[in-house]
Chain A
Amino acid sequence: AQKITQTQPGMFVQEKEAVTLDCTYDTSDQSYGLFWYKQPSSGEMIFLIYQGSYDEQNATEGRYSLNFQKARKSANLVISASQLGDSAMYFCAMREDPNTGNQFYFGTGTSLTVIP
């Protein structure tokens, strides 16, 4: 089974609008971390936001927020006030319990295009 599932291969959003990128995960660990990375066409993976499994509040970093629904095992990324520079691939990732593996798992990514 896939550890991380991103069901939206491509998304379009109007500049200045908000957009939600979906991510669901699969783990039996109680302790895990969830991450979102942005990959522009240059190739570098840029860390955006982190949510720990025990964090009760949704993580926020500037225009990025992570909508964490633990019971549904979802960790959607919300980008508010989209900018042209937000056009990129976005990857959801999970790090399982360090005591059981500590490996990072990545989804297949969502290509976001911001339209002027």
Chain B
Amino acid sequence: KAGVTQTPRYLIKTRGQQVTLSCSPISGHRSVSWYQQTPGQGLQFLFEYFSETQRNKGNFPGRFSGRQFSNSRSEMNVSTLELGDSALYLCASRALAGAETQYFGPGTRLLVL
């Protein structure tokens, strides 16, 4: 079974631009979560989607948004990029919202110049 895939793997943007990241969960998994990882703040939870509905949201500004499609694929959007948005963005999927283990994708490395 294929793992979680994320595209693109690397991205360079400039301040003020917006970016969309994509995540395809493991086949059959319906829950997708997004995380931001930076050296200073560590791994921080952004949001979780299940059956196209946002179930949980972390403490991030409204510039960070996401959605999930009927095939469970998820996108994350960051508008008006700031230098501090440079990070590794990780997507994780699990079978159900209450399933125990979540499996991560390889991440998207975003650099904002």
Interface residues of B in 83-98 (CB under 8 A from A): 88, 90, 92, 97-98
The interface residues of chain A lying within 8 Å CB-to-CB of B106 are 42-44
CB distance from B99 to the nearest CB of A (A): 9
Taken residue by residue from 28 to 57, chain A's Cβ proximity to chain B (1 for < 8 Å, 0 otherwise) reads as: 000001010100001111110010100000
Instruction: Select the stretch in A10-18, A73-81, A95-103 that faces chain B.
Output: A95-103
| A33–B101 alpha-carbon span in the complex (Å) | 9
CB distance from B91 to the nearest CB of A (A): 10
- A: interface residue count bin: 20 to 34
The interface residues of chain A lying within 8 Å CB-to-CB of B66 are none
Instruction: Select the stretch in A19-27, A62-70, A105-113 that faces chain B.
Output: A105-113
Query: Is residue A91 contacting chain B, with contact meaning CB distance below 8 A?
Result: yes
B100 nearest CB neighbor, chain A only: A33
Interchain CB contact under 8 A, B104 and A44: yes
The interface residues of chain A lying within 8 Å CB-to-CB of B103 are 47
Interchain CB contact under 8 A, B55 and A102: yes
| A47–B101 alpha-carbon span in the complex (Å) | 8
The interface residues of chain B lying within 8 Å CB-to-CB of A103 are 45, 48, 56, 58
A109 nearest CB neighbor, chain B only: B42
Interchain CB contact under 8 A, B45 and A44: no
Of A42, A91, A102, which is within 8 A of B43 by CB?
Answer: A91
The interface residues of chain A lying within 8 Å CB-to-CB of B92 are 45, 104
Interchain CB contact under 8 A, B109 and A43: yes
| A91–B90 alpha-carbon span in the complex (Å) | 14
Question: Which residues of B pack against A, CB within 8 Å?
Answer: 33, 35, 42-43, 45, 48, 55-56, 58, 88, 90, 92, 97-98, 100-107, 109
A35-B101, A47-B101 are known; give 4 further A-B pairs, CB within 8 A.
A45-B92, A47-B102, A104-B33, A106-B43
Question: Which residues of A pack against B, CB within 8 Å?
Answer: 33, 35, 37, 42-47, 50, 52, 91, 95, 98, 101-109
